[in-house]
Amino acid sequence: MIRASIPFLGTCLLLAWSITGSRVIAAATAPIPPRAPTINCVGNDEVDSSQAQKGASVPIPVEQRIADQMAYYKAEHGSGIFAPKGWYCRAWNGSNGSFLAVTPKPIPPPYFPLPSIGGPAVTIATWDGESSGRVRVAVVASQLFAVAGSEFVARVRQEHLISDSAFDPESYPDDQLQYLSDRFVEYTTPANRAGLGTDGMLDMSNLPIRGLTILNLVDQANSLIEVRVRLPPNLSSLTEPILTVETSCIQLPKRCRSLQ
């Protein structure tokens, strides 16, 4: 199923009441959406695991039966993401950006360097284009958004922080890409194949990976956001709802936190 091109908010009035001046109109025409509980995620090398924030929740514009299976996992610093309820989460924050992984079981230590995940997971990474994260932003921009990101890529290349060959497009012939705009792509990396989905914390496995990558090029706020979803067969029905909601969330200034 292919979702509408951005801005997705134009087709989702359930979100409009919380982020635009359409509050009165939307409230009159759209039902109150279900809510998903909020889960706090520990960061970096902190001990302990996920913890429910008593009474806290966020709206999620999906059917009630789907909402009942979801939770919103968030770090104190960095992004949050919707994922299956009852999972565990851990966050990392650094000078290059922030990372959040939600998994069926707690990720064991050590937590540095970032672990590789071989099983089901939902992850979100935000790379800061104004710090050391600019290298990752430029590399991905050169591979996926060559036209929209050309000026930014050229500036980073001139710093000679990495070899020029690192900016050459990676060949992932098995990936299926659907561009939602000139700087926003949705993709699928098939099971047991290397691709955009495995170019991060997720290793190859017998499960496919669905993903979203968006390039934000705004003065003083250049960034790259990468969402990856790999669910087990019994939860595969949640993949599309997660991607649909995140397609909207990652375009908001405060991501899904804007829905609160």
What pTM value is reported for the model? 0.86
Residues of the chain with pLDDT under 70: 1-30, 47-51, 53, 219-220, 255-260
Question: CB under 8 Å to 173, separation ≥6 — which residues?
Answer: none
The span from the CA of 228 to the CA of 124, in Å, is: 7
Matching residue, tokens 């914390």: 201
Residue 135 lies in a domain: no
Residue 3 lies in a domain: no
Q: What token pair was written down for 21?
A: 């001046």
Looking at residue 49, its pLDDT comes to: 59
The span from the CA of 125 to the CA of 206, in Å, is: 23
Q: Which residue range(s) make up the domain with 74?
A: 8-129+175-259
Looking at residue 67, its pLDDT comes to: 97
Looking at residue 222, its pLDDT comes to: 86
The span from the CA of 12 to the CA of 136, in Å, is: 31
Angle (CA) 63 69 75, round 5°: 110
- 17 backbone dihedrals φ, ψ, rounded to 5°: -65, -20
Residue 170 lies in a domain: no
C-alpha dihedral, 147 to 150 to 151 to 153, nearest 10°? 150
Looking at residue 4, its pLDDT comes to: 45
Looking at residue 30, its pLDDT comes to: 60
Pairing of strands 97-103, 184-189: unpaired
Residue type for position 158: Q
Residue 35 lies in a domain: yes
Residue 165 lies in a domain: no
The span from the CA of 34 to the CA of 203, in Å, is: 33
The continuous run of DSSP H or E covering 33 comes out as none
Residue 53 lies in a domain: yes
The span from the CA of 199 to the CA of 224, in Å, is: 14
Given a contact cutoff of 8 angstroms between Cβ atoms, the answer to whether 100 and 73 are in contact is yes
Looking at residue 258, its pLDDT comes to: 56
Residue type for position 2: I
Residue 77 lies in a domain: yes
Given a contact cutoff of 8 angstroms between Cβ atoms, the answer to whether 22 and 13 are in contact is yes
Tally of domains in the chain: 1
Residue 65 lies in a domain: yes
Looking at residue 2, its pLDDT comes to: 43
Angle (CA) 46 253 43, round 5°: 5
